[in-house]
Amino acid sequence: MTDKPVENPMMDRLRKLHLTGRDTTMGNVLRKFWQPVGRSEELKPGKAKTVRVMGEDLTLYRGESGKVFLVGGYCPHRLTLLANGWVQGDEIRCMYHGWKFDGKGQCTERPAERDASQPNVHVVSYPTNEYAGLVFAYMGEGEAPEFDLPRKGVFERPGALQFARVEVWPCNWLQQVENSMDAVHVSFVHHWGTVGSFGAVVAATVPELSYEETDAGIRQTAVRSAGSKRVSDWTFPNNNHISHPTLNLEDPWVDVGVWMTPVDDESTMRFLIYSIPSSTPEADARIHDYFENYSEYDPADHHDDLMLRGILPDDKLVQLTSAQDYVAAVGQGTIVDRTKERLGRSDMGIAFLRRLYWREMDAIEKGQPGKEWKRLSHDADLPQQVKEAVA
């Protein structure tokens, strides 16, 4: 185990790593990137819902044209929720006194004011983009960057089976991100209680770990034996991409993209895209039925069973994998105090990840441009995993 320094100035940077409010440095880092804020399928035309993202209460709605908009959460008049209003065309009308706002947040109507002008009344609005079943938003300053970094070739395969899910965990987003940059956890967390499809391909032995900064983030390689090598493609600042068996070993493997978007500093939306190449009609139907029946699951709905009673779901893939990670990350508390950790050399990935965050945060604080992150250019950089013999 490495020595833990006594209190020193470096610890201050540990204390602000997880903070995501608009006035925080990490909040600024996260807002420089497109972030998933909802699922496409839960937003039918003419429907609105309230979402909270990085501490901001917002209204996500789909206009009658089919376009999705993200605007402020409350009507500025008497501050009631806009999401309870009516979507009319591509605008939304407040249910309280009928004030109406367009997709750019501009007030276009105040029926009882008998005043055709709308003097500087507006709510915030953010650009959106739909991709692979998720709605992404850009909540940063200035013009939105091109919608490129979140994209991955595996989520754009013609004919692939694709499913988007969301879970909301009662813990800070960074605990989930750090979990994905810590391949040792797989040998223990995913062997906890029972071993599912994911844990089965990874022996319960501690891996050798290598880390490399890429154009997009960090490539993590975990080698457990000559036949077991897992590579994951972590994309800055809060997305991971892994692959693992789907339901049966002979099935095509599933590519899983996970975004950990802060609701606020104490809660996190965990958006997941599962993409499986089409194979045989029978396998496609089986996989489709599985996701239809089992993917509407949030371990937070089973908190006491998981945390207090050790009762895991019967499912061996989506639900089990999430439940096991949930127990580990939520078990750290709502916001873990990183100044009290006793890290070891096996946490090199955590060190690598944090240093990268600190570097980008430092650039923002100094008013300098950070790294220009970009999508990996070819499939060789994407996750791969040599199958290990499964007993």
Partner 1 sequence: MDNATFARIDAKLFHRLHWGPLDPVTFRLNGGQELTGQVMGVYRNGATGELRGGPTGQVLLATALGETAFTYEQISEIE
Which residues in this chain contact partner 1 in the complex, by CB under 8 A? 2-3, 5, 8, 10, 184, 205-213, 221, 223-225, 343, 345-348, 350-352, 354-355, 358-359, 362
* Smallest gap from residue 386 Cβ to partner 1 (A): 15
Q: How is residue 102 written in tokens?
A: 């367009």
Q: How far is the CB of 285 from partner 1 (least distance, A)?
A: 40
Give min distance, CB of 16 to partner 1, in A. 14
Q: Which is nearer to partner 1, 297 or 358 (CB)?
A: 358
Name the H helices within the chain.
10-15, 25-31, 173-180, 184-189, 197-200, 281-294, 303-307, 318-330, 348-365
Give the residue with the Cβ less far from partner 1, 2 or 248: 2
C-alpha distances (whole Å) from 243 to each of 199, 317, 384 are 12, 12, 7
Please report, as a single letter, which amino acid is at residue 12: D
The Cβ of residue 72 has, within 10 Å, a number of other Cβ atoms equal to 18
Distance, in Å, from the CA atom of 155 to the CA atom of 132, rounded to the nearest integer, reads 7
Nearer residue to partner 1 within complex by CB, 100 or 354: 354
Question: How many Cβ atoms are within 10 Å of 134's Cβ, its own excluded?
Answer: 26
The nearer residue to partner 1, 265 or 347, going by C-beta atoms, is 347
Q: In the beta sheet, which residues pair with residue 60?
A: 49, 70
Distance in angstroms (rounded) separating the CA atoms of residues 40 and 30:
22
Q: Show the tokens assigned to 53.
A: 């993202």
Query: Nearest distance from residue 23's CB to partner 1, in Å?
Result: 22
Tell how far CA 208 is from the center of its chain: 26
CB of 228 to partner 1, least distance (A): 10
> Residue type for 385, please?
Q
- 255 phi/psi in degrees, rounded to 5: -95, 130
Residue closer to partner 1 (CB basis): 7 or 314: 7
Both tokens assigned to 232: 């994951």
> Least distance from C-beta 79 to partner 1, angstroms?
42
Cis peptide before 313 (omega within 30 of 0): no
Instruction: Measure the CA–CA gap between 57 and 351, rounded to whole angstroms.
Output: 33
**Closer CB to partner 1, residue 144 or residue 363?**
363
Compute the least distance from the CB of residue 342 to partner 1, in Å. 12
Please report, to the nearest 10 degrees, the dihedral formed by the alpha carbons of residues 232, 233, 235, 240 taken in order: -40
**Of 193 and 370, which has the nearer Cβ to partner 1?**
370
Largest pairwise CA distance in the chain? 76
**Residue among 257 and 383 whose Cβ is closer to partner 1:** 383
Q: Give min distance, CB of 340 to partner 1, in A.
A: 14
β-strand pairing of 254-264 with 267-276: antiparallel
Closest approach of partner 1 to the CB of residue 206, in Å:
5
Q: Helix 318-330 vs helix 173-180: angle between axes, to the nearest 10 degrees? A: 120
Q: Which is nearer to partner 1, 110 or 219 (CB)?
A: 219
- Whole-number minimum distance, CB 234 to partner 1, in Å? 14
What does residue 250 show for φ and ψ, rounded to 5 degrees? Answer: -80, -10
- CB-nearer residue toward partner 1: 212 or 250: 212
